[in-house]
Structure formats: C-alpha cells, structure tokens
Amino acid sequence: MGESASGSEAEPRTHFGYQSVAESEKAAKVAEVFHSVAARYDLMNDLMSAGIHRLWKRLTIELSAVRPGQRVLDIAGGTGDLARQFALRVGAEGEVVLADINASMLEMGRSKLLDAGVAGNLRFVQADAEQLPFSDNCFDCVSIAFGLRNVTHKEKALESMLRVLKPGGRLLVLEFSKPRHALLGKLYDAYSFRILPKLGQLVAGDEDSYRYLAESIRMHPPQEALKAMMQTAGFARVSFHNMTGGIVALHRGIKP
C-alpha cells in the first residue's frame, strides 16, 4: 500500500486554468469545457472579440502561403473557420484535414462546412495534437488556432506537428498572448475576468467555462517563450507577429 500511495502522489501535475490538476485529468476537463460551449462557440467568438477574430484568422490564411494542390492540417479546427478558407485555397486537387480532439466541436465543424457546400476536399478526423495519427512528412502546412493553450504537453504536440510536416512545410500557431503595453493589459484583464464570464453565462449559460478560458490564456507561454519552445521542438526561422497590441500573436516556423 505504501508503494501505491507513493505512486499516486508522484503523478505529474499541470494547470487547468489557475487550478492544479493531475495530468491525466486535464484532457477530460478541457473536453467538458468545449462540449459545453460548442453550440454557441461561433456566436461567442463574435461577441467576445467584437468580430476581430475574423481579421486575425484572415491574416493567418494570408501568411500561410498555401497554394492550390497542397495538403493542410488544421488542428483544434473547431467549427471550421480556417479549414473553410484553406479548402478554397488548395482547390479540388488539394486536401484539408480538420482535426479536433473534441467530438462536439468536430461535429459542429462538419455540419457547418457541409451546409456551406465546401466540404468536397475536406476530411474530418478526431485526433489528439500530442499524437497525430498521420504519417511523417505528409502536410505542406499545419495550423492550430486558439488550441495550443489547452494541450497538456505543448512540447510533445509541437514535435508531433513537426513530424507530419514535409521538409520546408510551415506551422502557424494563432493564439492569445501577452499585451505589449501595461495599460492595455490592465483593460484586457478587467474585461477577461469581469465581463467575459458574465457574457458566457448570459449567452451560453456557462460562466465557469469562460472563466477557465480567460485563465488558460494567462497560463499560456508569452510570445518569446513560445518562440523558444518551437525552436526547441526543431522548427527553423521561427517568428511571431503581434495583433491587437499583442492580445493575439501569430507564430510561424518552418520544418528544416
């Protein structure tokens, strides 16, 4: 019994927002959040960002340099905003794989894109970013938008993304980051912790999930730290572009 107790105490821990949880518990807790918010996810994105998230995603698409005939993997693709635009860019000869670990989000994305009539060159795969179920060197571009901060082992996920990219392929990480100015940071904190959870309760009937989302942003590595993580994972020519004063950053890296 002594060995069993010791083993339990030694289980690695990680953060779930500001909470400390066992690593084995985080994925299920994150899944609960996104099962809860899936139905109102698009509406809440528009309300939370006043529609600016569309501009962030548009710039991501532009900087991806995706061309007709290429293969793209969109991880944590949610309801398909990026996947739809990638599908239009790669055309009938290309392919876009929308991957998400959460079944509710994946189903929302599938339904939305099928209804829009743009799913002819799209494939939908439920997948864990840390263990991508794809062969080596098979994608020209990999993207992950507002998903990396929810991954338990970010380093492992980045290595998995590098593996599935072709040499010369590009990774794009669009994620909330650290505001570059103190005053903006204070205003952003006030909005995130006072207004956002109440908005989540009013629109989605879920205050706790949106409080977690605000906390998870603060626990995510800031710009330079994420850049270093990508370099450690093996990416070359890593750079980042701040948007909206650093509230969001787009990181890019190339597979050597």
- Write out the binding residues for S-adenosyl-L-methionine: 79, 100, 128-129
In whole angstroms, what is the distance from residue 67 CA to residue 129 CA? 24
DSSP 8-class letter at 93 = T
Burial status of residue 84 (CB atoms within 10 A of its CB: 0-12, 13-18, 19 or more) = buried
Answer whether 72's CB lies under 8 Å from 82's CB: no
Binding residues: 79, 100, 128-129
Whether the CA torsion 226, 244, 209, 19 is positive or negative: it is positive
Answer whether 38's CB lies under 8 Å from 104's CB: yes
In whole angstroms, what is the distance from residue 221 CA to residue 154 CA? 10
The pair of structure tokens assigned to 2 is: 């002594």
